Amino acid sequence: MSNKTDARVIRTKYIIQTETILLLSTQPDFSITMLLSRANITRGTFYKYYRNKEHLISEINDALINDLLEHTQETFKITDMINTVSKQAAFYNAVLNHDIDKSFSDTLYSRLRTQMATHTNDLSDEERRAQQYQWEVINAGFWAIMAKWLADNMNISQVALFEEFTELWRLNTNTVANNGLNLFDFSTDEI
């Protein structure tokens, strides 16, 4: 059995990554020693899988971003994004409201823009610029609402959060026009 599929390796890496996310959420300047203690692993085990703290954080960021991007392949599925963010609420609160991991935010927004650009590639220059600008505004609105929701300890349901987002755009979700809104999925299937 290879190391990549060994259940012990998967479990150990899961524990390291879970504890790292918790530490990033509360103590972003944590030391490797603190992580090792919380994860109950040895220094040798840590360095068997990661070169250093930055390598570990980079892997975690990549995995979390890929989880989010999974919900933006065709359109930006708002309900799926809300669900995904809520599963790591403490981390996203720290990222969005306390700027704890600037590289995470920068990479996420860059990769989201790349996906959006792919979706508007076949449009004329004028239509593409208009949709990309509208997408930027709507995307910023989404993350601002998410940041407020997380800062308020998720004090409203995901359904109410979704409704707040659609109200922000005074959106009739049945008649999305050919503009930046069509890059977002406003269906409520997943809530």
For residues 42 and 28, what is the distance between their CA atoms, to the nearest angstrom? 21
What confidence score (pLDDT) does residue 1 get?
47
What confidence score (pLDDT) does residue 142 get?
93
What confidence score (pLDDT) does residue 191 get?
61
What confidence score (pLDDT) does residue 51 get?
97
Q: Cα torsion at 14, 17, 23, 26 (round to 10°)? A: -90
Tokens for 15, please give them: 């524990």
For residues 113 and 110, what is the distance between their CA atoms, to the nearest angstrom? 5
Task: Mark the ranges of the chain whose per-residue pLDDT is less than 50.
Answer: 1, 173, 175-176
